[in-house]
Amino acid sequence: MEQVHADVQRLATDYPQLPLSELLPDLITTQDTVFTLLEQQRRPSQARQLYFLAGVTGGLLAKASHDMADPHAALTQARTAFVCADNADHNGLRAWIRGIQSLVSYWAGRTRESVRYAQSGAEFATTNTSSVWLPMNEARAWAALGNANAARAAIERAEDAWDGVQEDEVDELGGLCSFGRTRQIYYAAEALSWLPSQADAAGDYATRAVEAYADTASPEWAFGDQAGSHSALAIARIQAGELEGAEEAVAPVLGLAPEQRINGIINCTERVHRALRDSPLADAGAGLQEQIEIFTRTPLKSLPR
């Protein structure tokens, strides 16, 4: 049991920082081990812990399917993970999995569904960091829908939620299972970058996020969120009419290896492309648009599995 818990914690910690190809075999093996143990007769306390770990691995696999641009598989795995959270009777895990479902729906363009999952997760009386993550997920979805007031209100609720945060078993796993201040700043930058009226605020948040993610030794560092921060900054600079600044902001993203071109990163760069297309900089930015098109031709899902 201790070994399995250690394996799950390592996977949760490594997930935001390593290419999926390095993690997926161990993740699948660990989930198989957890379910094999569940098939054996266990004391109630052991069964609860195994269902908890099954819920976490299911959530990580849902994120993996999302990263490979398969939202149907991701949401199917997340529903299974939620059943495990129910069997473990763990509200913190239920809330975290709702966060995964909201994230997957957001990137799949199902923004109303993303709002619904985020609000559903908030119904669980949890004080772990998902209480901050869920309204930040909601903020991004509202912003994508063009509702600036709802997005701003969700960002404020997330900030207020820090006053009541108490880490639980989910947070203690770290990595993808915990939501920190740096990630919150990035989410705010991305949310506000959808809204032209919030361009200045989006630029401020994005600058702070880029600076924070520059520290690759930080436990909060994540290559996907770092790329998202740079993309949000590029969009803010396009909205401000700063083509050279936008090119500088997105350049590190366009240098990522194909193994790191997860679905979220591809979507972020495509948003930069659209922002440039719809701006007065479109003609002058043709070279940058072409670079983005070349980059997005080889997403992670196109690699041999």
pLDDT of the residue at 125:
67
Angle at 80 between CA 141 and CA 24, to 5 degrees: 85
Q: Mapping DSSP to helix (H, G, I), strand (E, B) and coil, where does residue 278 land?
A: coil
Which one, of 55, 52, 60, 58, lies nearest residue 20 by Cα?
60
For residue 102, which of 69, 129, 63 has the smallest C-alpha distance? 63
pLDDT digits (tens, 9 = 90+) for 114-132: 999 999 999 886 789 999 9
- Asked if residues 65 and 79 have their Cβ atoms less than 8 Å apart, the reply is no
Query: Which residues neighbour 130 within 8 Å (Cβ) at sequence distance 6 or greater?
Result: 92, 95, 96, 98, 99, 121, 170, 179
Q: What is the DSSP letter of 300?
A: G
25-48 as b/e: b if 16+ CB within 10 A: eebeebbebbeebbeeeeeeeebe
Q: What confidence tens digit (pLDDT) does each residue in 144-161 have?
A: 999 999 999 999 999 999
What distance in Å separates the CA atoms of residue 36 and residue 166, rounded to the nearest whole number?
A: 32
Write down the pTM of the prediction: 0.95
Q: Which helix (H) or strand (E) holds 87?
A: helix 71-88
Nearest alpha-carbon partner for 69 in 259, 223, 262:
262
Amino acid sitting at position 251: A
Instruction: Collect the ranges in the chain with pLDDT lower than 70.
Output: 125, 302-305
Q: Which amino acid is it at 130?
A: S
